Structure 1
Amino acid sequence: MRRLIVCLFTLVATFVLAGAALAQDIDDWDFSLWDVANGRELSIEAAVPDLAKAEFVYVGEVHDEYATHLAQLAVIRALREAGHEVVVGLEMFERRDQETLDRWLAGKLPEREFIEAFRRNWGRLWPQYRDIFLYCRENGVPMAGLNVPRSVTRKVASQGFESLTEEERGMLPPIACDVSPAYAEFLHRITGAHGHGEAEFQKFCEAQLVWDTAMAVHALDDMKEYPGAIMVVLAGSVHAWKAAMPAQMRKQDPDVTQRIILPQEKGRLDKDAVTTADCDYLMLNL
């Protein structure tokens, strides 16, 4: 029993110290953005007035790179500290599991139980995201699950959109799956993926399009509950590029206002190889 108590005390102390370290990390971190349109480096605070003009601010990530998640949290904090209401949209939570997410935010679900829900949605990456989820719970920031069941996108990737049953299509919002040449070229350019041939690549594109479009529809629907707020969308970079989820959102609502922030990638997405067709800002100093 004594050993159990000591272990539990150590675990709690570790979490408390980790939270304190996080606050210090963000405050001390020399995080900045590259303003693509104007070719200049900005602090996140200096970028906030422009970001706040948007209804949706996408902050792309590399799922297993903690620095990109620290940048996401920095954007959320900066917008809130400037007095803006923020909602966080999540690729890493399925829409059908929103009730679990709401219970976590309300403080009605212990962390150990929420970790199991997180793993069910997104695997074993909780340590990478924990600080964001704690910050939102502690500061009353709503979070919205945007994703569709992974079983659906996996099936589309392997068998094509037409293979979905009526029940499986019912797990999606009403969407079409018409892959344009521009969308296919975008995916080929950033992923280098052609599958094992033209047919396989087509199914890959359909899966990505379903993913991007469904999350865009869900995000627009969710924001009807928060007029005047800004949704910070946390998603993998492949979804956050302007040609991906933001383009599908614009098809749903041509008047939507958006800003896109992506992680810098040396040689492919950096100050010397980026345009406003890709994003509005790059993360620097990661």
Structure 2
Amino acid sequence: MLSVITVLFAAIGAFANAELIWDTQRQTRLTLEEFLKDRQAGEILVLGEIHANSENKDEPDTRVHHTNQARMIAGLGQFSPVSVGMEFLTYTFQDTVDNYLRGAISEADFLRQVGWGSSQNFDFYREQILLPSRLGGRTLALNIPRAITGKVARRGPDSLTEADRALLPPIWEKGGDEYFERFAETMKGHATQQQIENFFWAQSLWDDTMAWNATKYMNTAPQDRMVIIVGQFHAEFGHGLPADSSATGPRT
């Protein structure tokens, strides 16, 4: 079974500048240097982040938060190949990602083809996407097309067509009870119970697809370390993506 560790960068004020990491396995704060000492080949590090967007892009802590991601990836590259999995990239566009990284298409064409959202400032993620090609690893598009999760969120799992289902991971299950309770709390007052159920099925599909693509790759590259950059909610408390990656082992 692959080793899956959830890490969260402290992202505010003095903590951000100190590069402090919350290691959920040890339940303690570590400096980046301390955290890197114990890393092993074959690990998947689920790095929960605060997404850089149009609202927070000018805040100093946002820049530090994402710079620290690149520092972690570069630091891991001292020991073995490092691959990076991106929540923002849809796995059906993996060829586009590869073409961009080998210089076959421009950055502008890459962003247009993968549908990079205008609210997500690429400046905060460029280095994380480029680094693996210099560190012997790969940059992986992990997520399922938004059209599919959008359909699930609106009309539930049974709304998917056969063509949609052909793109699903081999395992897609509703997330655990504690994860659902935490999710439902964020939706309270904004959606009906049925809508919350549908939204959570979509959230679970997001998690399961990312776990499938990450573990599938790592089973072919056990010498790598992988860093998955994903929204913090998908990673906190060991729920979501970390739980799905740990529970299944090899996926095909």
Shared fold, TM over 0.5 = yes
Unaligned runs of 5+ in 2: 1-16, 53-61
Alignment of 1:78-157 (within 5 A): 78-81=75-78, 83-118=79-114, 120-123=115-118, 124-157=120-153
Q: Return the letter of the residue paired with 1:57.
A: L
Per the normalisation by structure 1, the TM-score is 0.70
Q: 1:224 aligns with which of 210, 219, 223?
A: 219
Structure whose residues are more often helix by fraction = 1
Match of 1:32 in 2: 20
Distance apart, 1:210 and its partner CA: 0.7
Is 2:51 the partner of 1:55? no
Q: 1:204 to 1:117 in 2, by over 3 A?
A: same
Judge conservation of contact 1:51–1:57 (CA < 8 Å) in 2. no
Match of 1:203 in 2: 198
Q: How many residues align?
A: 223
Per the normalisation by structure 2, the TM-score is 0.79
**Superposition RMSD on alpha carbons, in Å?**
2.4
Match of 2:30 in 1: 42
Q: 2:181 aligns with which of 160, 178, 185?
A: 185
Distance apart, 1:132 and its partner CA: 2.0
Q: 1:88 to 1:194 in 2, by over 3 A?
A: farther
- Give CA-to-partner distance per residue, 1:178-207, whole Å, 9 cap, x none: 354333113235x35464221111111111
Unaligned runs of 5+ in 1: 1-28, 255-286
Distance apart, 1:213 and its partner CA: 0.8
Distance 1:51 1:216 in 2: 20
Q: Return the letter of the residue paired with 2:49.
A: E
Match of 2:172 in 1: 176
Q: Return the letter of the residue paired with 2:36.
A: V
Distance apart, 1:61 and its partner CA: 1.3
Distance apart, 1:125 and its partner CA: 2.3
Alignment of 1:225-240 (within 5 A): 225-240=220-235
Distance apart, 1:129 and its partner CA: 1.1
Mean CA deviation greater in 176-185 or 211-220 = 176-185
Judge conservation of contact 1:32–1:42 (CA < 8 Å) in 2. yes
Q: Return the letter of the residue paired with 2:105.
A: L
Q: 1:53 to 1:103 in 2, by over 3 A?
A: closer
Q: 2:65 aligns with which of 39, 63, 68?
A: 68
Over alpha carbons, which structure has the higher Rg?
Answer: 1
Distance 2:218 2:27 in 1: 32
Q: 1:47 to 1:121 in 2, by over 3 A?
A: same
Q: 1:41 to 1:239 in 2, by over 3 A?
A: closer
Distance 1:98 1:135 in 2: 16
Distance apart, 1:40 and its partner CA: 5.3
Q: Which runs of 4+ in 1 moved over 6 A?
A: none
Distance apart, 1:224 and its partner CA: 2.2
